[in-house]
A and B are shown apart, each in its own frame.
Chain A
Amino acid sequence: MTDPILDIKDIHVSFDTPDGPVDAVRGVNMKVIPGETVAIVGESGSGKSQAMMATMGLLADNGTVRGSAIYRGTQLIGMSKSDLNKIRGAKITMIFQEPMTSLDPLYSIEFQICEPLRVHGGLSKQAARDRALELLELVQIPNAKDRLKAYPHELSGGQRQRVMIAMALANNPDLLIADEPTTALDVTIQAEILALLADLQKRLGMSILFITHDLGIVDAFADRVYVMRAGQVVEEGPAEQIFNAPREDYTKLLLGAEPDGTKDPVPETAPMVLSANDMVVTFSSGGGFLGGKLREVKAVKDVSLSLQKGQTLGIVGESGSGKSTLGRAILQLLPSDGRVVFADNVISGLSRHQMQAYRRDLQMVFQDPYGSLSPRMTVGEIVTEGLLVHEPGISAKDRDRRATEALRAVDLDPAVRRRFPHEFSGGQRQRIAIARAVILRPTVMVLDEPTSALDRSVQKQIITLLRDIQTELELSYIFISHDLSVVRALSDTVMVMKNGEVVEHGSTANIFNAPTSDYTRHLMRAAFDLKSVLKEHANTIA
């Protein structure tokens, strides 16, 4: 066997918290050999991300690392910052789990892609810009040339993630560490990006170490797999072996955790709770600081929908197709045209103040759990904030009890109330965001990618949780996701969107079993048959 490019031995990570030390990673060993693709899977909070952060010297201030991580004969742990900086961003690059916040909001994407190119490669300004453009085209950002000057907030989550991928590939690294690299992407682009990575890997001999909760990707993409749980590796082996003959119970559990079941449709007589007609959302963007040309983009074009009590409407579609925008527009969180009726009241065009009366009934769980959780509030404060606004009468004790209930409902230890969001893993943050909405007992919940940051086993719990609260509170959901299997498990009806328009709209059974449009079929294949899609790509490239 060739020498490993990265050899991690007995890595321990612990964090200092007000509640005492948290041992996030407890003696992890991992190896990556040149040209290999290694996947790390495991439940949320099992230490997957922190093991990688520790290796790269990126732990938060309260974290400490012990152990050894050797990159091509050099010890990374305890290395001086300036030496480490010769490797980070040049030889080893990273893609982070949080696409929404991993780019600096104050700088254009051109600036951010060029920075490492200029620092490590010593490229001239023009050369760096040319390369940045090339990279954006490589990761298939539409109109790459115009997008160079765009700021992160002008891009969708998936587009930001692709910018991150472009940054990661800029200096032709030896090793790419990717933390949920395609989680924010829709399935078709996910397939394209994975094919792209596989191709680059072949051409450049790059190794990939990636963290994912999507076993479909692991199956199609990885050579070897590490399964992590509670800070330790519980099983390790070639992908086929893990899938065909898992040894550990936990691995078996993970494999069996694909979302299943379908939702019983609501009776036709169920009352209508929400309807939206001819929704149009227009954004103007571009126009630099000193003026300049302004572009108008129609993010949502004439979309209509309706929702009955207890019903779930799934919205699927590629990134930038306007799913989240539509969700926000319906809840009047964005200026839009169109008529929205909630419980027989027209709520479109209401002032912010007038909307206040409906806010409690209409809750939203945002796509980006980190960005939407205020970093300076404790989890307890975040979860109960809405109660203070909407039920100011209840006592501090009752509030606390409700917070405990809500946190329990999303399977978090109520003792976490005094901790801050940055101390939680991606999946835990997502559960906090759900608890914050559920505590208000709303009527309609718009869930924007609520499970995309979660591993399958937790996802299954969240799906069960969402089903349970739906029956209990007769909630209606608008469920936005690019994860088709979750949508299938939860929705009565499904709407497929592309470029702000509805491509197809129908009952879940019809959309999944007998899709009528080419686009939907394409989507289904990328989601449920990734392996053959990747093979096809590899053949066309070869």
Chain B
Amino acid sequence: MIRYILRRLLGAIPTLFLVVTVAFFLIRIAPGGPFDAERALEPTVLANLNAYFHLDKPLYEQYFRYLGNLLQGDMGPSFFRRDFSVHELLADGLPVSMLLGSLALLMAVVFGSILGCIAALRQNSWIDYTVIAIATFGITVPNFVVAPILALIFGVALNLLPTGGWGGGHPANLVMPVIALGLPQVAVIARLIRGAMIEALRSDHVRTARAYGLPTRMIVVTHSLRAACLPAVSYLGPAAAGLLTGSIVIEQVFGLPGIGREFVNAALSRDYTLVMGTVIVIAVFVLIFNLIVDILYAALDPRVRYE
């Protein structure tokens, strides 16, 4: 098991290297540079800036310099917010995004599975139809619609919650972003669990469990729910990585200082190093969560156990 994890972690290194390389060159292909967006600079100032950040060197040299620094844990200074290093910006933004993301994730898992289970057990009842309706709503209505509507109702009209801002992570500031971020995930998970659960309840081995007089609790929890979790687990891997690394839309709408917003700003202003930093963070999260999913999956399903 430990060996398996180590092997997977080692296997992740080339992937990460590939991501870094591709991202590095891709962003350079995009037209424009980090210092274009501001008022046209004096050519000499621009030259100085370029020289300072080694942007005047050939691309491959910049690439190897970046790789070298990266190996020492240095992601360089931000080009755009020049007083900060990428490291500092990420260290500021990441906790915000992760807090937001993990709360949304928790909400998705808890409410999604409960709703999905209830709907499956009461298939074709009004509860089931309500869950399906909520799920359809959650999936079809994008969160750039949900978020402003929430803000309008609870922030502006009812004046119950702050319409935006971080407020030092005050719970009141988190409520709406977490709901807006988590709702679609609740919907997806509820639907996945419902479908898988209905299938499991119909399966031959559940019939066996019934024929052997097992109590309902064992039939549902032991013989159906475990199987019903499998598709949700596979879905949650990439989804969790996405949630924890910040949502561009939610952070923008509620004015939260997470790395999702940082990423957009960085990309728009061709802040090469900051873009690279965010890409690396996201890649690491995706790799880690894929590993977690595989481990969870193997723990749940003996048919896919590795060695």
Could you list which residues of chain A lie within 8 angstroms of chain B, going by C-beta atoms? Answer: 56-58, 60-61, 81-82, 84-90, 93-94, 96, 98, 101-108, 115-116, 119-120, 151, 153, 164, 167, 284, 287-291, 294, 370, 375-376, 422
Contact = CB atoms under 8 A, between A and B. Distances in A.
Given A101-B205, A102-B205, A93 B211 contact: yes
A284 B307 CA distance: 9
Contacts of A87: 213
B1 A115 contact: no
Contact of A61 (B1, B202, B213, B222): B202
Interface string B295-307: 0001111110101
B121 to A, nearest CB: 12
A119 B216 CA distance: 12
Please indicate which of the listed interface residues B210, B215, B300 has the most CB atoms of chain A within 10 Å of its own CB: B210
Contacts of B202: 60-61, 375, 422
B205 A88 contact: no
Contacts of B55: none
A287 to B, nearest CB: 5
A214 B274 CA distance: 74
Contacts of A86: 213
Contacts of A96: 204, 207-208, 211
A106 B226 contact: yes
A105 B205 contact: yes
Contact of A101 (B204, B211, B301, B307): B204
B223 A93 contact: no
A103 B206 CA distance: 8
Contacts of B208: 94, 96, 102-104, 164, 167
Given A287-B307, A289-B298, A290-B1, A102 B207 contact: yes
Contacts of B1: 289-291
Contacts of A107: 222
Contacts of A291: 1, 3, 307
Interface in B223-249: 223, 226-227
Contact of A119 (B206, B213, B223): B213
Given A104-B223, A106-B302, A153-B302, A116 B204 contact: no
Closest 9 pairs (CB-CB, A-B): A89-B212, A89-B213, A85-B213, A88-B213, A101-B204, A104-B205, A116-B212, A151-B302, A94-B211
A505 to B, nearest CB: 34
B300 A102 contact: no
A290 B204 CA distance: 29
14 contacts: A57-B210, A58-B207, A61-B202, A84-B213, A87-B213, A98-B204, A101-B204, A102-B208, A103-B205, A104-B223, A106-B301, A119-B218, A289-B305, A290-B1
Contact of A58 (B211, B226, B299, B303): B211
A367 to B, nearest CB: 15
Contacts of A105: 205, 227, 301-303
B211 A56 contact: yes
B115 to A, nearest CB: 20
B213 A151 contact: no
A88 B123 CA distance: 25
A115 B218 contact: yes
B102 to A, nearest CB: 26
Given A93-B211, A115-B214, A116-B212, 13 more contacts: A58-B210, A88-B212, A93-B212, A94-B208, A104-B208, A104-B209, A105-B303, A116-B214, A119-B214, A167-B208, A294-B307, A375-B202, A376-B199
A287 B305 contact: yes
Contacts of B223: 104
A17 to B, nearest CB: 15
Interface residues of B, number: 32
Contact of B215 (A85, A93, A104, A376): A85
Nearest to B195: A376
A88 B204 contact: no
Contacts, number: 100
Q: Is the interface of B mostly helix, strand, loop or mixed?
A: helix
A126 B138 CA distance: 49
B52 to A, nearest CB: 51
A480 B205 CA distance: 26
B307 A89 contact: no
B203 interface: yes
Nearest to A292: B307
Given A115-B218, A151-B303, A90 B203 contact: no
Contacts of B301: 105-106
Please indicate which of the listed interface residues B211, B216, B227, B298 has the most CB atoms of chain A within 10 Å of its own CB: B211
B198 to A, nearest CB: 9
A116 B214 CA distance: 7
B224 to A, nearest CB: 9
A106 B203 CA distance: 13
Nearest to A291: B1
Contacts of B216: 81
A535 B286 CA distance: 66
A116 B302 contact: no
Contact of A88 (B199, B211, B227): B211
Contacts of A60: 202
Interface in B179-221: 199, 202-216, 218
B302 A115 contact: no
Given A105-B303, A106-B301, A167 B205 contact: no
A375 B199 contact: yes
A82 B305 CA distance: 36
A496 to B, nearest CB: 31
A153 B205 CA distance: 13
B269 to A, nearest CB: 44
A102 B212 contact: no
A88 B307 contact: no
Nearest to B223: A104
Please indicate which of the listed interface residues B3, B212, B227 has the most CB atoms of chain A within 10 Å of its own CB: B212
A191 to B, nearest CB: 25
Interface in B1-50: 1, 3
Contact of A289 (B204, B210, B211, B302): B302
Contacts of B298: 289
B303 A90 contact: no
B204 A90 contact: no
A106 B62 CA distance: 52
Interface string B69-109: 00000000000000000000000000000000000000000
A84 B223 CA distance: 19
A167 B218 CA distance: 17
B201 to A, nearest CB: 9
A370 B204 CA distance: 9
A282 B210 CA distance: 36
Contacts of B204: 96, 98, 101-102, 370
Contacts of B205: 101-105
B4 to A, nearest CB: 8
Contacts of A98: 204
B226 to A, nearest CB: 5
A417 B232 CA distance: 31
Contacts of B123: 61
Contacts of A90: 213
Given A106-B302, A287-B307, A89 B214 contact: yes
B207 A120 contact: no
A96 to B, nearest CB: 7
B303 A88 contact: no
A270 B305 CA distance: 46
A119 B280 CA distance: 52
Contacts of A153: 302-303
Please indicate which of the listed interface residues B204, B218, B301 has the most CB atoms of chain A within 10 Å of its own CB: B204
Given A60-B202, A101-B203, A89 B211 contact: yes
